[in-house]
Amino acid sequence: MSRRLTEPKLVVATHNAGKLREIRELLAPFGVEAVSAGELGLPEPEETGTTFAENARIKAEAAATASGLPALADDSGIAVMALWGAPGIFSARWGGPQKDFGAAMARVAADLEARGKTEPQQRRAAFVAALCLAWPDGHVEEIEGAVEGIVVWPPRGDRGFGYDPIFQPDDHQRTFGEMSSEEKHGIRWSAEGGTGLSHRARAFAALAGRCLGEPVLP
């Protein structure tokens, strides 16, 4: 049985400011108070999983246990087909200790170049997000979302975070780095549920339908 969130407050179990902002925007129509792992001074658990889902669960369970509140974690990344799915779950780690995503994006481009992958159709990629909502009693709700597109070079746009400037989703002419966060989310709520554009928004819409109930729209 899936569980509905009845608590008025949850922890957003991330130390990534860009992600935190997006998750807060997505949560806004549900009237849930969101406090971040950073604000609570929670430690950053080691991401020892081998899948996005495992790592999301590690982060959500650690935050729920430490805080005594339900916790929502996101583990995500970009998987480039011609690079056999790299950087994948290592997307954050490619930024290095300095979290230098200019360098990480350049590494993706250089690796594609080195393999002779110069045409857009050879540069297919997907952003993937696994969400885990964990309660202190051990119950978890899990979901994944993905969006396909191509890697572009040079980077375009200075919005968003991480790899946004080199990812252009299918059926769009602009990169996530060129989109407002509303466009990147692309959230549409209807009686049938929610749809989204970004990997995170798609996963969130599905999780919301299962655990958060009806959005209160302006």
Residue numbers belonging to the annotated binding site for substrate: 14-19, 76, 161-164, 184, 199-200
3-state secondary structure of 148: strand
Angle at 20 between CA 125 and CA 171, to 5 degrees: 30
Question: What residue numbers does the annotated binding site for Mg(2+) cover?
Answer: 46, 75
What residues between 9 and 48 interact with ligand Y43 by CB under 6 A? 14-16, 19, 44, 47
Cα 160 from Cα 154, distance rounded (Å): 16
Tell me which of ligand Y43, Mg ion, none is bound by residue 76, counting a contact when its beta carbon lies within the kind-specific cut-off of 5 to 8 angstroms. Answer: ligand Y43
CB 60 within 8 A of CB 68: no
Q: How many CB atoms within 10 Å of residue 137? A: 8
Choose, from 75, 100, 111, 137, the residue flagged as catalytic.
75
The residues pairing with 77 across neighbouring beta strands, listed in sequence order, are 128
- Minimum CB separation of residue 168 from ligand Y43 in Å reads 12
- Minimum CB separation of residue 193 from ligand Y43 in Å reads 21
The residues pairing with 160 across neighbouring beta strands, listed in sequence order, are none
Cα 198 from Cα 100, distance rounded (Å): 22
Backbone angles phi, psi at 9, to 5 degrees: -140, 140
Binding region for Mg ion (CB under 5 A) out of 87-95, 162-170, 182-190, 203-211: 87-95
Is the Cβ of residue 5 or residue 175 nearer to ligand Y43 in the bound state? 175
CB 70 within 8 A of CB 135: yes
**Residue 102: Cβ-neighbour burial (10 angstroms; 0-12, 13-18, 19+):** exposed
- Minimum CB separation of residue 118 from Mg ion in Å reads 31
- Minimum CB separation of residue 214 from ligand Y43 in Å reads 26
Q: How many CB atoms within 10 Å of residue 191? A: 5
Residue 92 within binding range of Mg ion, rule CB under 5 A: yes
Residue 170 annotated to the active site: no
Binding region for Mg ion (CB under 5 A) out of 89-97, 119-127, 168-176, 205-213: 89-97
Residue 92 within binding range of ligand Y43, rule CB under 6 A: yes
What residues between 141 and 160 interact with ligand Y43 by CB under 6 A? 160
| Residue nearest ligand Y43, Cβ-based | 162
Cα 28 from Cα 50, distance rounded (Å): 31
User: How many residues bind ligand Y43, per CB under 6 A?
Assistant: 23
Residue 162 within binding range of ligand Y43, rule CB under 6 A: yes
**Number of helices and strands in the chain (H, E):** 5, 8
Residues acting as catalytic residues:
75
Contact residues: ligand Y43, CB under 6 A: 14-16, 19, 44, 47, 59, 74-77, 91-92, 95, 127, 160-164, 176, 198, 200
